[in-house]
């Protein structure tokens, strides 16, 4: 399946380009896992956003693949979000209209409101036509932009080692990966999976959304290059529980083992 997904300069959605894409339930049938998507921006409305765009005109600016789709836990309207895999940005804009002709085929029954849709299913022919305006050099692997807190919040104290080989650190690379962290929080929430601690409830707005992300599988069970599933492999933990999981460097506790300790000492 193929689709165009719209990203507005100003939006009600908590989207993260190349990481997460939120959408209403009515678009669920168009954004199934594995759908290849092209990112699109409409005509600029506020010149203050020029610096973050490739063009002021309606244009396509990146591609990706829908990874998994989940209900949006923060929505009251049964909205959804999808994780984005294999995201690449364009080094130049591909305008929606070239030589007076749109690159997307507009169905006759949608002529009057086609461009209002936030998600637009397209054919493989349309997908190939759009990308046909690019060379291989025009596609760039993009790293999401995050602040210092997002990318390096978890310190070296949250590390363990595989017994018998102290050169193999526990997978803090995955725990600190900002894209995986963002996806894991969107999927699991920002409440500790072991003790239920919620920084937002305790500290208010300054603690809202704060949590550590922990990789559940020891490095000894992972390959050299491992694809991490933020739904199955990552889990949110408060700083205290995360520290206890890694307290003994030679033996990383599982979340289940930590829960048993909490129950037996409460």
pLDDT, tens digit, for every residue of 17-62? 999 999 999 999 999 999 999 999 999 999 998 998 999 999 999 9
Q: Computed from CA positions of residues 219, 220, 221, 223, in that sequence, does the dihedral angle turn out positive or negative? A: positive
In the predicted structure, residue 172 carries a pLDDT above the cut 70? no
Confidence (pLDDT) at 143: 62
Output the CA angle 64-69-70, nearest 5 degrees: 140
Give 185's pLDDT tier (boundaries 50, 70, 90): very high
User: What is the pLDDT averaged over residues 143-172?
Assistant: 47
User: What is the pLDDT averaged over residues 146-159?
Assistant: 48
Q: Which of 192, 215, 213, 175 is nearest to 262 (CA)?
A: 192
Q: Which residue has the higher pLDDT, 8 or 154?
A: 8
Rounded to an integer, what distance in angstroms lies between the CA atom of residue 266 and that of residue 226? Answer: 37
In the predicted structure, residue 164 carries a pLDDT above the cut 60? no
In the predicted structure, residue 89 carries a pLDDT above the cut 80? yes
Confidence (pLDDT) at 217: 74
**Domain ranges within the chain, ordered by starting residue:** 2-141, 178-264
In the predicted structure, residue 175 carries a pLDDT above the cut 90? no
3-state secondary structure of 256: helix
In the predicted structure, residue 77 carries a pLDDT above the cut 90? no
Give 114's pLDDT tier (boundaries 50, 70, 90): very high
Give 81's pLDDT tier (boundaries 50, 70, 90): very high
Confidence (pLDDT) at 224: 55
Query: Which token pair is 18?
Result: 């190349």
Confidence (pLDDT) at 138: 82
Q: List beta partners, residue 95.
A: 59
Confidence (pLDDT) at 43: 94
Give 256's pLDDT tier (boundaries 50, 70, 90): very high
Architecture of the CATH domain 2-141: Roll (3.10)
* Alpha carbon distances (Å) from 4 to 27, 112, 127: 11, 18, 9
Q: Which of 79, 82, 81 is nearest to 66 (CA)?
A: 82
Phi/psi for 157 (5° steps) reads: -70, -20
Q: Computed from CA positions of residues 38, 44, 49, 51, in that sequence, does the dihedral angle turn out positive or negative? A: positive
Rounded to an integer, what distance in angstroms lies between the CA atom of residue 250 and that of residue 143? Answer: 33
In the predicted structure, residue 148 carries a pLDDT above the cut 50? no
């Amino acid at each position: 399946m193929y689709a165009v997904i719209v990203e507005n300069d100003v939006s009600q959605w908590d989207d993260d380009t190349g990481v997460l894409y939120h959408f209403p339930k009515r678009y669920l049938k168009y954004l199934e896992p594995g759908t290849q998507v092209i990112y699109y921006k409409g005509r600029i409305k506020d010149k203050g956003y020029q610096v973050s765009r490739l063009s002021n005109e309606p244009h396509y600016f990146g591609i990706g693949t829908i990874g998994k789709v989940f209900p949006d836990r923060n929505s009251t309207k049964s909205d959804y979000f999808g994780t984005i895999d294999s995201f690449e940005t364009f080094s130049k804009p591909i305008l929606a209209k070239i030589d007076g002709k749109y690159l997307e085929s507009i169905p006759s029954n949608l002529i009057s409101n086609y461009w209002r849709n936030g998600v637009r299913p397209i054919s493989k022919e349309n997908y190939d036509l759009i990308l046909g305006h690019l060379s291989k050099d025009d596609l760039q692997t993009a790293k999401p932009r995050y602040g210092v807190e997002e990318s390096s919040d978890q310190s070296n104290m949250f590390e363990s080692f595989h017994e018998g080989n102290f050169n193999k650190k526990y997978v803090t690379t995955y725990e600190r990966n900002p894209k995986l962290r963002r996806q894991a929080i969107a999927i699991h929430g920002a409440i500790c999976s072991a003790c239920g601690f919620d920084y937002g409830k305790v500290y208010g707005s300054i603690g809202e959304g704060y949590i550590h992300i922990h990789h559940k599988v020891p490095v000894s069970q992972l390959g050299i290059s491992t694809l991490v599933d933020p739904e199955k492999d990552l889990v949110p933990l408060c700083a205290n529980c995360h520290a206890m999981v890694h307290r003994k460097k030679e033996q990383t506790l599982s979340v289940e083992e930590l829960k048993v300790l909490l129950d037996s000492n409460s």
